Amino acid sequence: MARISFQHVEKTYDNNVTVVPDLNLDIKDKEFVVLVGPSGCGKSTTLRMIAGLESITSGELYIGDRVVNELQPKDRDIAMVFQTYALYPHMTVYKNMAYALQLKKTPKDEIDRKVKHAAEILGLTEYLNRKPRALSGGQRQRVALGRAMVRNPEVFLLDEPLSNLDAKLRTEMRAQIAKLHKQLDTTFVYVTHDQTEAMTMADRIVVMNKGVIQQFDTPAHIYDHPANLFVATFIGSPKMNLTDVLLEKKGNTYYIKNEDLHFAIPAGKVNATFDQYVGKTVTLGIRPEDLHIEKIMVDTYPDAIFNATLDLVENTGSEMNLYFNYHGKDMILKTPSRFDYKDGDTISMAIDKNKIHLFDKETGKAIS
C-alpha cells in the first residue's frame, strides 16, 4: 500500500520564506495525481518533500503507514524522474539503470533481467551501451524513466519530466507515461505547470497556488466546476473569459444583468447562496468554447447575445480563436466551425447559459 498523506505539512526555508504553509493532501494507492500550478506555487517543493530531498518543517508525511519525515530518500521506496533527467553522465544507459540495484546488492542476473526488460518496454535496447551524451532528449528522458522503473518503487515521482522536450515528443511521452502507470500499477505523483499534461494524464489533479491547494479533484470536475477564479483561469486553454455582472432576483428567478445582457440563470445552476449576492456585482465566467456564433445557438439564446468587434482572428487548423474586447476585458471565442471573419468585423455571439460560472467578486470563490 502506497498511499501518500500530508498532514498539516509546513515547509519554511532557512531564510524564513514559507513555501508551503499548511498542506493537507491524501493521495490514494495506485492513483495518478498531478500537481499543477504556476512557477513558485510550491508544487515541486511538495514533490521533493515526498522524495526526501527537502526537509519538512512541521507536520507529518506518510507513505503507506509509515511517517517518513526523517527517512532518507533511499529508504522511502520511491523513484524520481527529474526535469533535467539527472542521468549519471559517466555511466552507460545500462549502468544508469542498474546503479540503484547494484547499490542494493541485487544479484547480477536479476539486475540484467530487470534492466533489459525495462529497456525493451521503453525501446532502449539498442542504446544500452551508449552514454547519455550520445542520446537525444527523448531518449534521455526514457532512460530516466527506465532508471526509476527497474527499482519497482511503491511511489513514482515525476518533476516536470516533459518540459525539456519539443511539442511533438511531449505528446508521445505523455501517452507513454500514462501507459506506464497502467503497466506498473503504482502510485504516480507528477508535477507540471502545463495544464494539458495535468488534464490528460491525471486521475486527480491538485491545483496549487502560493503553497495552498486550490482544488483537488478529477480533471473533468475541475474543468466543469472550478472552485475559484484561480482554478477557473488556470485550467483551460484559452483561459476562461471573465466579466462583472449584476445579480438580480425577480420572483423565484435569478437574472444576470449588465449594459447589454439580461438573462435568467437556468434553475439547475441556482443554489441557496445566491440570495446573499442579489443586488451585488459578481464575476461571470464563460469558457471560450461556450460562446457561440453559429446561427442555431444565437437563435436558441436570444436573451444572452452581445455584439463585439474582432481584434484578431486566429486559425489553428482544427478550430478558430476569435479575440475581442468586451467592456474593457480581453476575451476569446473558440469555435470548431470555419467562418470567413476578418479582424475588425463586428459579430453577434451567444452565451451558452447552461455552462456559465459565477464567482464572488471579493473572494473569488465559486457560487454557482
Partner 1 sequence: MKKKSKLDFDKTYVWMTIPLVALFFLFNTYPLIKGFLYSFTNFRGYGSYQSVGLRNYLDLFTDARVDHSYLFTFGVAICVTILVNVISLVLALGLNSKIKFKSGLRALYFVPNILGALVVGYIFNYFFTYILPAFEKMLFGSGSSILASQKWAWVAIVIVCAWQAIAMQTIIYISGLQTVPEDVYEAGAIDGSSGWTKFRTLTLPLILPFVTINLVLTMKNALMVFDQIMALTKGGPAQSTESISYLIYNNGMSGGQFGFQSANAVLFFVVIVLISIFQLKFMGKKEEQL
For partner 1, which is the closer residue by CB, 84 or 309? 84
We find the least distance from the C-beta atom of residue 87 to partner 1, in angstroms, to be 8
Tell me the helix, strand and coil percentages in the chain, rounded to 5.
Answer: 30, 35, 35
Helices (H) and strands (E) in the chain, counts: 9, 20
For partner 1, which is the closer residue by CB, 80 or 332? 80
Q: Given strand 66-67, what is the order of strands in its sheet?
A: 18-27, 4-12, 58-63, 66-67
C-alpha dihedral (216, 219, 220, 225), degrees to nearest 10: 40
- Strands of 239-286 (E only): list them: 241-250, 253-257, 262-264, 281-286
We find the least distance from the C-beta atom of residue 54 to partner 1, in angstroms, to be 10
For partner 1, which is the closer residue by CB, 89 or 317? 89
For partner 1, which is the closer residue by CB, 44 or 214? 44
Which residues contact residue 286 at a Cβ distance below 8 angstroms, ignoring those fewer than 6 apart?
240, 241, 351, 352, 355, 356, 357
We find the least distance from the C-beta atom of residue 29 to partner 1, in angstroms, to be 20
For partner 1, which is the closer residue by CB, 164 or 200? 164
Backbone angles phi, psi at 203, to 5 degrees: -75, -45
For partner 1, which is the closer residue by CB, 61 or 351? 61
For partner 1, which is the closer residue by CB, 82 or 274? 82
Q: From CA 367, how far away is CA 61, in angstroms rounded?
A: 33
We find the least distance from the C-beta atom of residue 156 to partner 1, in angstroms, to be 11
We find the least distance from the C-beta atom of residue 51 to partner 1, in angstroms, to be 6
Q: Which of 73, 97, 67, 76 lies closest to 85 in space, CA to CA?
A: 97
We find the least distance from the C-beta atom of residue 103 to partner 1, in angstroms, to be 4
Q: What are the residues binding partner 1 (CB under 8 A)?
A: 51-53, 72-74, 78-80, 82, 84, 86-90, 99-100, 103-104, 131, 133, 147, 151
C-alpha dihedral (63, 65, 70, 75), degrees to nearest 10: -60
Burial profile 201-217: b = 16 or more Cβ within 10 angstroms, e = fewer: bbebbbbbbebebbbbb
Q: Is 300 helix (H, G, I), strand (E, B) or coil?
A: helix
We find the least distance from the C-beta atom of residue 74 to partner 1, in angstroms, to be 4
Cα R_g (the chain), whole angstroms: 25
DSSP calls for 270-282: --GGGGGGTTSEE
Q: From CA 244, how far away is CA 256, in angstroms rounded?
A: 10
We find the least distance from the C-beta atom of residue 35 to partner 1, in angstroms, to be 18
> For 146, left (φ over 0), alpha (ψ -120 to 50), or beta?
alpha
For partner 1, which is the closer residue by CB, 86 or 347? 86
For partner 1, which is the closer residue by CB, 144 or 358? 144
Q: Which of 255, 207, 203, 266 lies closest to 232 in space, CA to CA?
A: 207
We find the least distance from the C-beta atom of residue 85 to partner 1, in angstroms, to be 8
